[in-house]
Amino acid sequence: MLKKLFKQAALGALAAVAWAGPANAVDLMTDYQKAKTYDPTFQTAIAERQANQASATQARVAYLPQGSLSNQRLQTDTSTRQTLTISQPIIDLGNFATFRMAEPRQGFAEATFLVKQQDLAMRLLKASNAIILANENLKLNAAKMAALDQQTLAAKKKLELGQGTVTDLRDIEVKSAQAKSQQLTFKTALDVAAKQYAAITGERPNVKEFVLDSKDRDIKLLPVDQYLDQALQNNPALLAARFTERVAELEVQRATGSMLPVLSTTHSRSRSTGQDISYTGVLVNVPLQVGSFYARQGVEASYLKAKEATRDSEEKTRVEVEKLREQIETGLEALKIQKDAIAAAELSLEANKKSYEGGVRSAVDILNATQTVFQVKSDYVTFLTTQVESILSLLHQVSPESGDTLVVADKFLFAR
């Protein structure tokens, strides 16, 4: 009878480390598309992009003709005078610099929008990982609770037969109470994670779909030099810094142009009662404003600041790519070791079971072995979710397409 009860307890403990059975895993790409139309943070990014694009359009029309229409009544007039003036800049270095800002401003609008898309993809992945971790721990802990309940029955029966001790029974009861307390914590964590996911996508997810497969995971890594070259060319955050630097450089040219003469053609027509005066000619405007000189100094300082910010962004990109590449490479090996640790923990539990049946091990040894099995499996899930976040971060460094990078992360996480 004791052996039967103990066997049930051991099987329950082993169930705590069993991988989830086949299930329909969540489709991150579908939820990503939902998030792009719902997530409030991303909606502000869309509005920001439109504002930046409007700024670029405004720069494009800087060199177009300018017109004005005014109504006034001079002291020498007997009626209201209407004056229409149209001018076309011919040589205006300030407006020409503004016109040249259109391209970098448009580039800045697109680059910053790509950064926001990447941020959305990362937030969605982290929310998914939070559900996975809480879901897996909840299932593992439930299986551990069942095993501890069986061990409690076995310990009580053994005590009744005079073969066990009260200490063994109390130790098991303590572990069982701790597991029940943890179960409440994991349930709360799962509910919070599901709400955070819904706050991004607009729909509460089916947490049963967030399961991991026991398949081995691997990803082909390129040499670090290739990642560095791609990052320096494609990193959206770095591109945004470069466009900002270019705009700042043109701001210096515009400030310089504001101190130089402006040559333009102009046509003016003034009409009042009995008078109709027209004029067409070339106008030279020579600005004489001391403040423009000091304004240029401020703009030039801003340009130097933007230039250093670009250099700082480039250095941080290099460091981040090298760090992520190394973390992923070592992490892939660590994942294999983690799986070996799970197998070793299972064998250790089985060995402790047989030793307990032979009177060599105590109930405490079984409890410790059961806890170890639970812990190594939980650690594996935590390590796997951290690893996939590193993969997505590296891909974001080298590719602006957040949709494509999320596909790679999704395949790795769910072993598709």
Q: Are the CB atoms for 213 and 410 separated by under 8 Å?
A: no
Q: Residue 11: its pLDDT value, please?
A: 36
Give the pTM. 0.83
Positions in the chain whose pLDDT score sits under 70: 1-25, 73-79, 163-164, 273-274, 356-357, 362-363
- As a whole number of angstroms, the distance between CA 93 and CA 99 comes to 10
Q: Residue 231: its pLDDT value, please?
A: 95
Q: Between the CA atoms of 227, 230, 232 and 233, what dihedral angle is there, to the nearest 10 degrees?
A: 180
Q: Residue 352: its pLDDT value, please?
A: 80
DSSP one-letter string for 108-130 = HHHHHHHHHHHHHHHHHHHHHHH
Q: Are the CB atoms for 117 and 325 separated by under 8 Å?
A: no
Q: Are the CB atoms for 259 and 296 separated by under 8 Å?
A: yes
- As a whole number of angstroms, the distance between CA 251 and CA 136 comes to 55
Tens digits of residue pLDDT in 185-229: 999 999 999 999 999 999 999 998 898 887 888 889 999 999 999
Number of other residues whose CB lies within 10 A of the CB of residue 400: 19
Select from 234, 254, 276 the least CA-distant residue to 401: 234
Q: Which residue type sits at 271?
A: R
Q: Which residue type sits at 54?
A: A
Architecture of domain 2-63+101-245+309-414: Up-down Bundle (1.20)
Strand bridging mode 66-72 / 262-272? unpaired
Residues whose CB is less than 8 angstroms from the CB of residue 74 and which lie 6 or more positions away in sequence, other chains included: 81
* 3-state secondary structure at position 261: coil
Extents of the domains making up the chain = 2-63+101-245+309-414
Select from 102, 399, 377 the least CA-distant residue to 231: 399
Q: What is the 3-state secondary structure (H, E, C) of 135-176?
A: HHHHHHHHHHHHHHHHHHHHHHHHHHCCCCCHHHHHHHHHHH
Q: Which two tokens stand for residue 319?
A: 């460091």
Select from 102, 388, 91 the least CA-distant residue to 218: 388
